[in-house]
């Protein structure tokens, strides 16, 4: 399966790929420039993952990487409430691109090890996930640090592979 991982800077995209790829979580991750590509084997499934940079100057590239993917993973720092407006704007902007119609979306509320993180219910409201049409949408709360819910995330991704 081919997957694009997008979301604002410092939400934990590279951490996600590192943790599912090699089990390695770190406090110090270098901000991604442009993108990283990584192949990750999980049992019978090989994931080809495009980990795209989240800083503002790279966001116009997201669409290109999401094109033709089996799934888009949009990662949010669920403890950074001040960024929800920007995350919502960028997510809906991306999904409004005609070329991305139908591509399944997985929204991850990362960093749920931090107190006062937003719940799935909060994220559905803040990111207006109930307004998204023309594609399957799922949202989970998770943590790359504690690995909470990584099992269901991998199951979701596996179900979208062929």
Ligand X SMILES: Nc1nc2c(ncn2[C@@H]2O[C@H](COP(=O)(O)OP(=O)(O)OP(=O)(O)O)[C@@H](O)[C@H]2O)c(=O)[nH]1
- The number of residues that bind ligand X (CB under 6 A) is 23
101: left (phi over 0), alpha (psi -120 to 50) or beta: beta
Choosing from 1, 2, 9, 48, the residue that interacts with ligand X (CB under 6 A) is 9
Based on the shown chain and the rule CB under 5 A, indicate whether residue 14 belongs to the binding site for Mg ion.
Answer: yes
Question: Of these partners, Mg ion, ligand X, none, which one is at the site of residue 132 (CB under 5 to 8 Å by kind)?
Answer: none
Structure tokens at 152: 């269901």
Binding segment for ligand X (CB under 6 A), chosen from 48-56, 64-72, 82-90, 116-124, is 48-56
The H or E element containing residue 42 is strand 35-42
10 binds ligand X (CB under 6 A): yes
Q: Which two tokens stand for residue 101?
A: 């119609």
Residue 18 beta carbon to ligand X: minimum distance, rounded to whole angstroms? 7
Q: Identify which of residues 53 and 100 has a Cβ nearer to ligand X in the complex.
A: 53
DSSP percent split of the chain into helix, strand, coil, nearest 5: 35, 25, 40
Residue 64 CA: distances (Å) to CA of 20, 29, 69, 82, 126: 24, 24, 10, 27, 26
- Give the nearest distance from C-beta 82 to Mg ion in angstroms: 20
Cβ count within 10 A of residue 15? 22
Q: Which of 20, 76, 123, 144 binds ligand X (CB under 6 A)?
A: 144
Binding site residues, ligand X, CB under 6 A: 7, 9-15, 26-27, 29, 31-32, 53-55, 110-111, 113-114, 143-145
């Amino acid at each position: 399966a081919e997957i694009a991982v997008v979301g604002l800077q410092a939400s934990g995209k590279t951490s996600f790929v590192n943790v599912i790829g090699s089990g390695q979580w770190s406090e110090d991750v270098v901000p991604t420039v442009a993108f990283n590509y990584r192949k990750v084997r999980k049992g019978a499934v090989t994931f080809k993952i495009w980990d795209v940079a989240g800083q503002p100057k790279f966001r116009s590239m997201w669409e290109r990487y999401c094109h033709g993917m089996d799934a888009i993973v949009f990662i949010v720092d669920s403890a950074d409430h001040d960024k929800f407006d920007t995350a919502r704007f960028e997510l809906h902007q991306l999904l409004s691109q005609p070329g991305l119609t139908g591509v399944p979306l997985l929204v991850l509320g990362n960093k749920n090890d931090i107190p006062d993180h937003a719940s799935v219910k909060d994220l559905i409201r803040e990111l207006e996930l109930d307004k998204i049409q023309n594609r399957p949408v799922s949202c989970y709360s998770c943590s790359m640090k504690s690995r909470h819910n990584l099992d269901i995330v991998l199951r979701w991704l596996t179900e979208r592979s062929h």
